[in-house]
Structure 1
Amino acid sequence: MFWCDIGVNFTDKRLDLEPVLSRSIASNVNQIIITGTSLEISQQAIELTTLHPKHLYATTGVHPHHASEFNQDTYSHLKQLANNPQVVAIGECGLDFNRNFSTPTDQTYAFEQQLNLACELKLPVFLHERDAFDSQITLLQKYKNDLVGGVAHCFTGNKEQMAEYLALGFYIGITGWACDLKRGIDLREALQHLPLERLLLETDAPYLRPKGLANNRKVDKGNNEPAYLPFIAEKVAELMKVELREVNTANMRNTQTLFNITPLGTLNGI
């Protein structure tokens, strides 16, 4: 079974591309989407994809933490980056009213601009949301008729929130948060109501190392890695009460449908 990890922060210095990718491929996670969170990071993500174009793809966008950096030129710069064939989505974009590193006003402006760009380019959106669910859904409803789809990246909400994303036609990105017996209670319950045809899997590496994963600090230095996606998939299968192969089939089919990524049939795709 081969897998695609739809969210990896490979531009983070904690992840050394070659050994981490090698371990990922050895674990049958042979396709990865690198997350773009600013103009600079998005450019770096695209540059990394050129090293292994059959294995690596990228998103390009401005995270709400960086929304204050969004100006009149940002839209055109993002558009230029998004025209790269390795770019499969606009984002990470959305609203984060938890820390407010950028003001809610700046966040709303940057998010709406990126929704417009996604509509213009007919690319899906890669969504972030924290403590801003109602405002985020309101904006998404405004653009729903022109958006080609998207994913609620690193979803940690409850079944009611999940239902609203599903009603808009979005996919749900599940991380190792589902392995957390304390913090992941709402998500674990929501997973029992998630249709397989809307499931996507991600690690959000190097963050969100799954609870219950064996210690391997000599190799991974305590970081999360895309190689651990199958571990998450096993937990998801248990919670959804389906066979692991069903989760695998859904993950790859949905990845292809949303991001237009054709699954690799072998490990020797380089």
Structure 2
Amino acid sequence: MIDIGVNLTSGRFHKDLTQVMDRAREAGVVAQIVTGTSVRASEEALELTQAYPNELYATAGVHPHDAKSWNDESAANLSALARAPGVVALGECGLDFNRNFSPPEDQLVCFEAQLALAVELQKPVFLHQRDAHEAFMPILQRYRPQLTGAVVHCFTGTRAELEDYMALDCAIGVTGWVCDERRGGELRELVKHIPAHRLMVETDAPYLTPRNLPTKPKGNRNEPAFLPYVIEKVAECRGESAEPLARQTAENARAFFQL
């Protein structure tokens, strides 16, 4: 299994990262993509790849929440980071109009700059979109023909949004949201419509802890070892067996990120 989105730079992992990695291996998670959400977090993600070579890989990006920090210096720093061995994608980048921690106009500039860098470096993008689909799609449509690949991280959208992404040959990342009986109903219905070769799985640890875990973890912290519970629920929704789905999603991740 390959977890395409983990936030191992989170302070919630600082005390026991070695044990977290051990449990992930024991669960069958052979590789993880550590998400870069700011220049500093991307630097930390890259450092983790050096500590766990061929096991951890990184993205380099600025999350829309942090877009207000985008300037010439951060652009230059991110460009240098994205060229480093171990960095396999640009992102997490995109638009988030749900909370607008950064003004929409700053988000648009930051998003487009990272897409342009991904085109320049010929690396795929790790995308974030929340309550911003109408603004997001025209930008992605403009750059998609030049991008080597695009994955929509933590997809929780509508059928129409999924079809828009399919039309652009995007991959789809599914998290433990699918395990949430309170709010994951639409996603559980939609995962069966994602073509097998475009489906990937992620925990987004320490967030989005799967609610189908047999026991609630301490502090409700999610971790990569819980990826099998995401796969089990996705397989159930698709009417498939978990083991072939785990293999397929891992193959998809290896090809997409060129691991």
Q: Helix, strand or coil for the counterpart of 1:29?
A: coil
> Counterpart in 2 of 1:31?
31
> Counterpart in 1 of 2:252?
254
Q: Deviations over 1:198-228 (max 9, x none)?
A: 10000000000011212253xx542001001
Larger deviation, residues 89-98 vs 153-162:
153-162
> Counterpart in 1 of 2:231?
233
AA paired with 1:242?
E
**How far, CA to CA, are the matches of 2:241 and 2:11 in structure 1?**
36
**How far, CA to CA, are the matches of 2:220 and 2:38 in structure 1?**
26
Q: Does 1:159 align with 2:173?
A: no
**How far, CA to CA, are the matches of 2:160 and 2:33 in structure 1?**
28
AA paired with 1:190?
L
Structure 2 residues not aligned, in runs of 5+: none
Give the drift of 1:170.
0.8
> Counterpart in 2 of 1:71?
71
Please give the TM-score of this superposition, normalised by the length of structure 1. 0.93
Q: Helix, strand or coil for the counterpart of 1:73?
A: helix
**How far, CA to CA, are the matches of 1:25 and 1:216 in structure 2?**
20
> Counterpart in 2 of 1:245?
243
AA paired with 1:259?
F
**Which structure has greater helix proportion?**
2
Structure 1 residues not aligned, in runs of 5+: 262-270
> Counterpart in 1 of 2:48?
48
Q: Helix, strand or coil for the counterpart of 1:129?
A: strand
For residues 1-270 of structure 1, the aligned pairs below 5 Å read 3-15=1-13, 16-217=16-217, 220-261=218-259
Q: Residues 159 and 189 of structure 1 are in contact (CA less than 8 Å); yes or no, is this contact kept in structure 2?
A: no
AA paired with 1:58?
A
Q: Residues 62 and 92 of structure 1 are in contact (CA less than 8 Å); yes or no, is this contact kept in structure 2?
A: yes
Give the drift of 1:128.
0.6
Please give the TM-score of this superposition, normalised by the length of structure 2. 0.97
Q: Deviations over 1:16-43 (max 9, x none)?
A: 3211011000101121110000000000
AA paired with 2:34?
I
> Counterpart in 2 of 1:265?
none
